[in-house]
Amino acid sequence: MIRRTSGNFAKNYEAKKYSRPRSEADQTAKTADPSAEFRILRLADLDGLVEAAEYKVVTKKKKQWFWTVNEKVVVDNYKDFLRSKTSLVAALNDRAFLMFSDLQGVLEQKGIRITNSLTEEARQKFATRDEHPILINYYTAQKLIGQFKDLVITDDDLMKADRDKLHQLQDDLFEKQRAEIKTFEQAVNEIDKGTILLVRIMD
């Protein structure tokens, strides 16, 4: 007999508790876990984006009874900034490419390189939240659009890049990967002279 206080009981109970089927009313839809999302923002808001990206811990004075104490407070306005100042134009929700760098690798095989216009100072601020995005400006976008016009991605191209042989597990993988490249192309087409594309990499 396993006593309720034993480690085995606790472990078995937890396993059963989380494996019980839940009613449809209790089940919540799983949120998409994209490899990347593409957001358009105005150039005028770029400095604000970089400032909001920095994850800050500041010290504030707080009254506590008869004393004033120092309290560390996290300042994080990034998600609010993304909601209010950027427009989500697309996301790679299927993870046909497991990571956005895999998509980049296929494009680089075809001679297409994505220039990141993020400054070193901005990189450091994004790094405080362990985020390493790509910013694509209008001039880079125009170059990419010209290259996309002649782009043909064959099964052989994708086979060469598929080091883990994932296509053997998913028959339509290459079609989905081509669709993700097309999604990226369409996001790049959204950029005009007054805007910039933020590629948030979720790897």
Residue 41 has pLDDT above 70, yes or no: yes
Contact (Cβ atoms closer than 8 angstroms) between residue 190 and residue 89: yes
pLDDT reported for residue 32: 54
| CA-based max dimension of the chain | 73
Q: Pick from 18-22, 97-101, 189-193 the range whose average pLDDT is largest.
A: 189-193
Whether the CB-CB separation of 61 and 68 falls below 8 Å is answered with yes
Confidence (pTM): 0.77
Burial label, 116 (beta-carbon count in 10 A; 0-12, 13-18, 19+): middle
Band of pLDDT at residue 6, cut at 50, 70 and 90: very low
| Predicted confidence (pLDDT) at residue 146 exceeds the cutoff of 90 | yes
| CATH code for the part of the protein at 32-201 | 3.40.1760
Element (H, E) at 195: strand 195-201
